[in-house]
Amino acid sequence: MLLQRIWDLVLSQSSVMLSPFFPLIFSLLVYLTFCLPFLLLDLLASRCALVRSFKLQPQSSVSWTAVRSCLALTLYNHLVFIFPLTVLHWYLRPEHLPEEAPPLPRLLAQVLVCLLLFDFQSFVWHLLHHKVPWLYRNFHKVHHTYTSTSALTAEYSSAWETLSLGLFAAVSPELLGCHPLTKLTFFTLNIWLSVEDHCGYDLPWATHRLVPFGLYGGAPHHDLHHLKSKFNFAPYFTHWDRLAGTLYLQD
């Protein structure tokens, strides 16, 4: 019943949902909203020892030059590359909005499967772009401009990387035949986890502390990747790095 009420609310704004502008606005608005709390922490970190104690690299700080650079590249990639593709998709495959919401168990199961698929696809892509020097030099090196992660570095990447990861995120729900509400839930969660991965903080309520047995790496896992780029290629979970022998844990 709760999901149906939420979906009815979404349907009341169907003209917005079906607009070719919606994916762009949704992606940017959700991303920047999730980045904002961490930007405030960055602002406080230089003045507050308590906040600084949670930083993974306490000696580093985020400059306004870096913030402007990250924002500029994110907006450029979205407007120049992502937006034309979303318009093309809107034209060729218009979205259908069913009247009924999906059952909650199905939504949760499909979101988890989408996350696992995205994690695997990104792991393979990421590993290849580190193992093949030409791929790293021409496509992935941009993302490693900053060895100290911060929230806005999550989308500081080349157009090729942005489009590749965006494709992985879009394809999995399509393969599973997910309901539009499930897609929105997955996209929102995926953006949050990506931002949290790059936030540069090991907070007490972080996702990796909520998932047991070290199955989820989180910000410490990915921050180590930016420091030691030969390890920790999976974006979220740790099982692929364990199997590949590329898992590096902080001492």
Q: Which has the closest alpha carbon to 160: 125, 193, 192?
A: 125
pLDDT score for 249: 84
Q: Which pLDDT belongs to residue 251?
A: 59
The C-alpha atoms of residue 41 and residue 46 are separated, in whole angstroms, by 9
**What six digits make up the tokens of 156?**
């500081």
Distances (CA, A) of 65 to 148, 155, 166, 182: 14, 16, 26, 37
Contact 240, 125 (CB under 8 A): no
Q: Is residue 41 left, alpha or beta, with left meaning phi > 0 and alpha meaning psi from -120 to 50? A: alpha
Q: What is the pTM of this model?
A: 0.95
Question: Residue 148: which of 70, 72, 64, 56 has the closest Cα?
Answer: 56
pLDDT at 175: 92
**What tens digit of pLDDT does each residue of 109-157 get?**
999 999 999 999 999 999 999 999 999 999 999 999 998 899 999 999 9
Transcribe 117-146 into DSSP letters.
Answer: HHHHHHHHHHHHHHHSHHHIIIIIGGGGG-
Q: Where are the alpha helices (DSSP H) in 22-103?
A: 22-45, 49-52, 64-77, 83-92
Secondary structure element (H or E) that encloses residue 110, with its range: helix 104-131
Q: Report residue 142: phi and psi, to 5°.
A: -55, -40
Mean pLDDT by 10 residues, the chain (251 residues): 92 93 96 97 93 93 92 97 94 91 96 97 97 96 93 96 96 94 97 97 96 94 92 96 92 59
So what's the pLDDT on residue 250? 73
pLDDT at res. 229: 86
